[in-house]
A and B are shown apart, each in its own frame.
Chain A
Amino acid sequence: MNDTIGIILICIGIAFDFLGVLGLIHLPDVYNRLQAATKCVTFGSMGILLGVIVMQGFTSFGFKALIGIVFIVLAAPTAAHAVSRAAHRSRIPLAKISVVDKYEEDKELKDETLKEKVEV
């Protein structure tokens, strides 16, 4: 029973991994690629490690996989956020079909308010 549930979780994780990589090679833009590739993290490798925990129980496998899950959850979204912010600040252009850029508008608005404060 545990083996079956574990294999199903591992298969879900591998499907998420494969679809995330497919998005990584197909989408037109850095930010879109990042959005697809982060799915690899949260359900891909985390699903595989959850499957390992369910299959093996709380042995050394389970605890090491638990430490791996905590490490992945803490590190990977932070890295993705930092990469996207740095890419936007270093003026990497968006794709041509993209419609709206809220972060750019927000930065311009912040600059205007700062100028007003300085003038007053």
Chain B
Amino acid sequence: MKILKWTIGLIIFAAFFYFNFFIYEGKLMLQLINVILFSSLLVLIRVIIGPTAADRIVSVDILGILIIGLTALLSIYYNESFFIDIGLI
């Protein structure tokens, strides 16, 4: 069972990184933004299946922190500085 879990996770991560960095033809900043979006998708898994309430609190907290980094990257990509204001809120 444990080996099955590790194998599924390894396949998913390897597929994501392969498609993101070798097949998807975007700029480097867009590829980095994709990594953060994938991370927030993984956080949502823990929000849904978390056994206790404290797990969900921690996960949503980390989701907010990830959004701050996402807005900083978006501000560099679009060359507009007001995106960081969204992260400050």
Contact = CB atoms under 8 A, between A and B. Distances in A.
A33 B55 contact: yes
Contacts of B54: 30, 83, 86-87, 90, 92
Given A24-B46, A64-B85, A14 B65 contact: no
B75 A68 contact: no
A28 to B, nearest CB: 10
Nearest to A44: B69
B66 A45 contact: yes
B32 A60 contact: no
Interface string A6-43: 01001101100110111011000010011001001100
A14 B36 contact: yes
A65 B69 contact: no
A10 B36 contact: no
Interface string B25-47: 00010001001101110110110
Interface residues of B, number: 32
A44 B66 CA distance: 8
Interface size class of chain A, counting residues whose CB lies under 8 Å from the partner chain = 35 or more
A5 interface: no
A2 interface: no
Contacts, number: 108
A7 to B, nearest CB: 7
Interface of B: 28, 32, 35-36, 38-40, 42-43, 45-46, 52, 54-55, 57-59, 61-62, 65-66, 68-69, 72-73, 75-76, 81, 84-85, 87-88
Interface of A: 7, 10-11, 13-14, 17-18, 20-22, 24-25, 30, 33-34, 37, 40-41, 44-45, 48-49, 52, 55-56, 59-61, 64-65, 67-68, 71-72, 76, 79-80, 83, 86-87, 90, 92
12 contacts: A21-B42, A33-B55, A37-B62, A40-B65, A44-B69, A52-B76, A52-B84, A61-B84, A64-B81, A67-B88, A68-B87, A87-B54
